[in-house]
Each structure stands twice: as C-alpha cells, then as structure tokens.
Amino acid sequence: MSSHPATPATRLIRLVLELRQSGITDATVLGAIERVPRERFVPPTFRHQAYENVAVPIGHGQTLSQPLVVARMTEALALGDRHKVLEIGTGSGYHTAVLARLSRRVYTIERHRPLTVSAENALRELRIHNVTARVGDGMLGWPEQAPFDRIVVAAAAAEPPPALLEQLALGGIMVLPIGTQERSQMLYRVERTAEGFVGAELAEVRFVPLLPGAGAELTG
C-alpha cells in the first residue's frame, strides 16, 4: 500500500461518501459539496482538516460548520435554480458557495467585516458571481431585497427573528438553529403557508449565538 497522504480530491470523495452514509440523500446537494473546494475556506492552520467532518475555527469567535450540518441545512432548504436565498452569517463563505451552486442568487450578511472580505475573495477566485455580500445585523435581514424564497441562519437565536419571518416569501422555507448556548439547540425547518408558519425539528446542533448589531471592527 502507498504511504502517500490522500490528495484533497480523494479526501473530498471520502467526505461525500461519509455524508451519504450519514443520511444525506439529495444528489444535487452532494454534487454541490463535491464542486466546492472546502480547503479554500479553511484557515491555513486547519487546512489538514478541510475534508474531515468537523467544525473549524475561522477567527472572530466564529466557526465553519461541520460538513454534515451544512449538507443537512442545505438539503432541508430544498433549493431550486430559480430561488433567491438569504444567508445570515457568511462566515468563511463555504456554505455561501454551496448555496450559490444550487440557487439563482444568494444575499449574505456577516457581522464581521474581515470575514466578509475574505469570503468575497474566495468566491471571486472560484468564479462564483451570483452572490451579494454585506456587513450588517443579520437579525434585521435584507428588507430591500425581500421577499426571499429561502432563508438560512448560521447562528442560534432563542426564537426566529421576526424580521426574517416577515421577509420569507409565501411557500418559502427557512432553516435555522433555535436555542441558547447553555441549553441544547435544535435545527428547525420553518415553512410559510397561507395559514401561517409551520415548523419541523431536524436535528440537535451547536451554533454560535445570533447577536444584534455588527462586529466591533465596524465602529472601532
């Protein structure tokens, strides 16, 4: 047997197989994950972990979610190529890139300017051009672009932010973690119907808290 370390391509294939074995069945979601080089979104110190099913620190108290969580959230969104998506919490831009492969346009909001800049650079390098990013308060959403067919939130709140519920289109789906850091958090899929909002539990998760306002570097 060869003692050479596995190439990123080999590790990516292994990761996709692991996701499939963990219950991710949507071929379009698995295909999008296969087409996004996760190592481009991981800090150099953690690059060796790019294709392991683990969360990775990206600075500013933020993390890049484990691939299984990204896949589960994306699958729950049931994305189509005509959908307009709002993402709260750009982070490294990895999940943004996956969403961009599956939808018409992604609007993404991040509290921390340095993360936004680095995510935009990575997306540009990968020639992903259907993303608009901005620094701001994710709890307020992006009213000028509402309504959104899909909304995904990468930070946990005690309850769904009212502004985001308002900005979800009729028939639209929002996927978000609900709970606090002290107590367990649950990933929910919320659908807006003519009668109101219908929620379903997906899985237990662990996310950073959803905070109001933008990061300190905006005002510092």
Residue 97: is it exposed, middle or buried by C-beta count within 10 angstroms (0-12/13-18/19+)? buried
Q: Residue 101 has what pLDDT?
A: 98
Residues annotated catalytic, as ranges: 65
**Arithmetic mean of pLDDT, 63-67:** 94
Q: What is the mean pLDDT of the chain?
A: 93
Q: Residue 219 has what pLDDT?
A: 38
**Distance in angstroms (rounded) separating the CA atoms of residues 112 and 109:** 9
Q: Residue 184 has what pLDDT?
A: 84
**31 residue type, one letter:** G
**Distance in angstroms (rounded) separating the CA atoms of residues 163 and 145:** 13
Tens of pLDDT, residues 146-157:
999 999 999 999
Report domain extents, the chain: 8-218
Residue 34: is it exposed, middle or buried by C-beta count within 10 angstroms (0-12/13-18/19+)? middle
Q: What percent of the chain has pLDDT over 70?
A: 94
Q: CA 181, 187, 190: angle at the middle one, nearest 5?
A: 130
Tell me which of 192 and 180 has the higher pLDDT.
192
Q: Residue 218 has what pLDDT?
A: 45
pTM of the model: 0.93
Tens of pLDDT, residues 99-138:
999 999 999 999 999 999 999 999 999 999 999 999 999 9
pLDDT surpasses 70 at 93: yes
pLDDT surpasses 80 at 201: yes
**Arithmetic mean of pLDDT, 157-166:** 95
In this structure, the strands spanning 105-110 and 131-135 are parallel
pLDDT category at 168 given cuts 50, 70, 90 is very high
CATH number (3.40.50.150, 3.30.1120.130, 3.40.50.2300, 3.30.70.100) of 8-218 reads: 3.40.50.150
Q: Residue 1 has what pLDDT?
A: 44
